Amino acid sequence: MLRRLQFIALRILIFFFGISIIWVIILRFLPVWVTPFMLSRKIDAFMDDKDTEIHHDWEPYENISKEVALAVVASEDQNFPKHWGFDFDQIYDAMTEDRKRARGASTISQQVAKNVFLWHGRSYIRKGLEVYFTILIELIWDKQRILEVYLNVAEMGKMTFGVEAASLRFYKKSAKKLSRYEAARIAAVLPNPVRFSIKNPSPYVMRRTNQIVRQMRYLGGQKYIADL
């Protein structure tokens, strides 16, 4: 009986690895039209008797202003072009800082792994799977693809996912036409896009926007991400 259970567990494990690798390979080339997080937001809205419409418009990387790409890198993960999925210096700093509320140290790659392949929540199982999928996408995708997916699936407002949908809703124009300041304001709300607003920015969002603009200049502008 024990051997049979071990054999079944091994087959399940091999099946999982095979399916997950195929899944990552497929999404290396196809648009990501829906994610588990989008579905969870839709279910939550339905349960709360609120508007369940999801705003999401996929746009390829070449149709998105590089100011937005630079803004999210400057804001969320400045070592993105250099690391292999994990920024260990940021992880160490987050673990050793004496703060009332721990700050996140997730890279853009980790956020893509979490948003595209997993559910949101706190558990060792989910975190372990996040590490696994982060390694997979770093191995199978290139950096430009990872950033392209992030720019298309990240939550950037209530029921609003991706920079094209956010730009159309809040700036009334395509993401390809966004200015540096407009791009920085989108990046400024990413820590909490439900609480913070692109359309009606709080003083905190305005300060953070200015900080991101300065960081974009410090990184050298768009040439910082030109070779992804």
Domains and CATH numbers, the chain: 55-75+83-225 (1.10.3810.10)
In terms of DSSP bridges, do strands 160-161 and 55-56 run parallel, antiparallel, or are they unpaired?
A: parallel
pLDDT for 1 beyond 90: no
Say yes or no to pLDDT of 9 above 90.
no
Q: Phi, psi (5° rounding) for residue 136?
A: -60, -50
Residues near 41 by beta carbon (within 8 Å), at least 6 away in sequence: 54, 155, 159
Band of pLDDT at residue 103, cut at 50, 70 and 90: very low
pLDDT(135) > 80: yes
- State whether residue 55 is helix, strand or coil: strand
Distance CA 30, CA 34 (A): 12
Give the global pTM: 0.91
Tell me what the pLDDT averaged over the chain comes to: 91
* CA 47 to each of CA 53, 74, 124, 169: distance values in angstroms, whole numbers, following the listed order: 13, 36, 27, 24
Q: List Cα–Cα distances, 128 to 46, 99, 121, 188, 211, in angstroms.
A: 30, 25, 12, 28, 33
The b-or-e profile of 150-168 (16+ CB within 10 A means b, else e) is bbbbbbbbebbbbbbbbbb
Least confident span in 70-84, 95-109, 193-207? 95-109
Residue 168, pLDDT > 60, answer yes
pLDDT level of residue 187 (50, 70, 90 thresholds): very high
d(CA 136, CA 157): 28
Q: What is the mean pLDDT of residues 70-95?
A: 86
**56 SS3 class:** strand
pLDDT band for position 97 (cuts 50, 70, 90) = low
Q: Please say if the pLDDT value at position 139 is more than 50.
A: yes
CB 221 within 8 A of CB 67: no
Confidence class for position 95, pLDDT limits 50, 70, 90: low
**What does the pLDDT read at residue 89?**
76
